[in-house]
Structure 1
């Protein structure tokens, strides 16, 4: 098993790494294979920062909620972030919303099953 110090380091590094990957992905989708510009870099970094803040917020808030709301919060985060990435490809807003809802529904099913089988109704986790 990993030490507590390693877990703490990973919990700090995960939002940064995931945010940078997400920001790069969004910027790459937006430029559609064209040249990299200063505005594209700025868009990528702002998107990465927004993703990092949302991720940290969801990760801090979600464990305090009941398992149903816990799953809904993660599903909304996953669906929203996917829908935003999809919208950067030039797809219509309706299609982006529908794709985000579909991915969010799948994430809800997975997360609800996980929390339903690993927590009691009061939110206490089983080991």
Structure 2
């Protein structure tokens, strides 16, 4: 009977040595019971499904500022173009990432290609290019993004949120195995 409290104490000591992280298997919750706020020393991570579209939107906004500034628009209007580009592409990117698990592979790749192609085509037009040239460039870049994302999604079928659609191997029927006898 005496070993049970020692085992429990050893488990708490192991939890205390976990480099400041909260381990739920030891009964810790990570929040204070009275206020519900995170405990001091614990941090919550932003999931990649939020961080990556936000980072991509910020990079696209900075590129838009550069593109508009290089075309001759200086100061505040260039910053406004960049801010609008970052907000719109960020919102569309977050929406796409949120709903991508409901899409089949080809539709998801097409959605990524459409978002990328439209964004790059619009950004290309900010440099003073013609509408036809900007549409062609955006269509080409969207097609490249479609092919690349389709390759990535099909190459990593195991990690898809809803599992593989089309198995690579044919479905085998279960036939009785041949019994080998020694002569």
TM-score range with shorter-chain normalisation? 0.7 to 0.9
Structure 2: 5+ residue stretches without partners: 1-43, 166-183
Change (3 A) 1:115 1:47: same
Q: Secondary structure at the match of 1:90?
A: coil
- Largest Rg, 1 or 2: 2
What is the deviation of 1:70? 1.0
Change (3 A) 1:109 1:53: same
Distance 1:27 1:63 in 2: 33
Task: Give the whole-Å Cα distance in 2 for the aligned partners of 1:86 and 1:15.
Answer: 21
2:130 match: 92
Partner of 1:124: 163
What CA RMSD, in Å, does the superposition of the two structures yield over aligned residues? 2.3
User: How far apart, in 1, do the equivalents of 2:83 and 2:157 lie?
Assistant: 37
Aligned to 1:14: 52
TM-score, length-scaled by structure 2: 0.57
Deviation (angstroms), 1:6: 4.1
- Report the equivalent of 2:140: 102
C-alpha contact (below 8 Å) 1:75/1:105 kept by paired residues? yes
Runs of 4+ with >3 A deviation: 10-13, 33-36
Question: For 1:39 and 1:12, how far apart are their aligned partners in 2?
Answer: 28
Shift of 1:57: 0.9
Number of aligned residues: 119
Give the whole-Å Cα distance in 1 for the aligned partners of 2:85 and 2:144: 24
Higher relative contact order (CA 8 A, sep 6+): 1
